[in-house]
A and B are shown apart, each in its own frame.
Chain A
Amino acid sequence: GDSVTQTEGLVTLTEGLPVMLNCTYQSTYSPFLFWYVQHLNEAPKLLLKSFTDNKRPEHQGFHATLHKSSSSFHLQKSSAQLSDSALYYCALSEWSNNRIFFGDGTQLVVKP
C-alpha cells in the first residue's frame, strides 16, 4: 500500500543554517508528492508539490526534488529563518484519487 515516511520527528537548527527534511515514500503507481506546513494553532497548508514534468517546485525559499529511483522527496532550504519554525508534512496522492497520505510530520524549530 501507499505510505510516506518522515524519519525525523524533530529537527532543531540555528537561524541561517541549511534545512533538509527527509521524506521517502512507497507507492504502487507514479504518485504526486507534496509538502504541507502547519504553523502553531493553524491549519495545514500547501507549501509545494511535485510536477509531472520533473520541474523542481519552489516556494518561500523551499524546494524539493522528486527522485523516483530512491523514492524520495526531501525538502530543502539554503538558509533557515525563525519564521520557518513549524510542523512539516510530506504527503502523497495517486492520480486516480484525491486521498492524500500524510507522513507523521517533522517539527522544525529554528533558534536565533
Chain B
Amino acid sequence: DPKIIQKPKYLVAVTGSEKILICEQYLGHNAMYWYRQSAKKPLEFMFSYSYQKLMDNQTASSRFQPQSSKKNHLDLQITALKPDDSATYFCASSQEGQGNTEVFFGKGTRLTVV
C-alpha cells in the first residue's frame, strides 16, 4: 500500500485556472515537502514544512501556496496556471530532526496546463 498518497495522478488544467494538488502521508513523519520535475529542471525543491509550519520556500512565485490542514497533509494550491507550470509534482516526507534521514516520495501528480 502506498504510504504517501497524491491525488489526482493526472490533471489537465486550462491556462488561468486554479488547482489543488492533494498529499497525505501515513509514515508518521513530521516533515513534508513539495518537489517539481519537468523537462527543464529535473527535480526542483519547492517547499518544506515541519510540524505544519513552513520552513523553507524556494518557489519565487506566490501563485504556489502550500496548505497544511493536518499534520500528515500538505496540499499545494496553484493559481493563475500557466503552460510553464506543466510538470510532475512530487510530495515527499521524512522524519524531522536529522539531515541524514531518508526522504520518501509519493508517485506524483502529472499536471498539464493547456
Binding site for B on A (CB under 8 A): 31-32, 34, 42-46, 49-50, 52, 87, 89, 93-102, 104-105
CB distance A105 to B42 under 8 Å?
yes
Binding site for A on B (CB under 8 A): 31, 33, 42-45, 48, 50, 55-56, 90, 94, 96, 98-108
**Shortest beta-carbon distance, A55 to chain B, in Å?**
13
- Give every chain B residue within 8 A of A98 (Cβ-Cβ): 31, 33, 48, 50, 55, 94, 96, 99, 101, 103
Q: Please, could you name 8 A-B residue pairs with CB atoms under 8 Å apart, sorted by A?
A: A43-B90, A43-B107, A49-B102, A95-B99, A99-B55, A100-B45, A101-B45, A105-B42
- Give every chain A residue within 8 A of B108 (Cβ-Cβ): 43
- Give every chain B residue within 8 A of A94 (Cβ-Cβ): 99
CB distance B43 to A89 under 8 Å?
yes
- Give every chain B residue within 8 A of A97 (Cβ-Cβ): 48, 55-56, 99
Q: Given the known inter-chain contacts A93-B99, A93-B100, A102-B42, please indicate yes or no for A44 contacting B90, CB distance below 8 A.
A: yes
Residue in A closest to B41 when the chains form the complex, CB atoms: A104
- Give every chain A residue within 8 A of B101 (Cβ-Cβ): 98
CA distance A84 to B108 in the complex (A): 22
Partner of B43, one of A32, A50, A102: A102
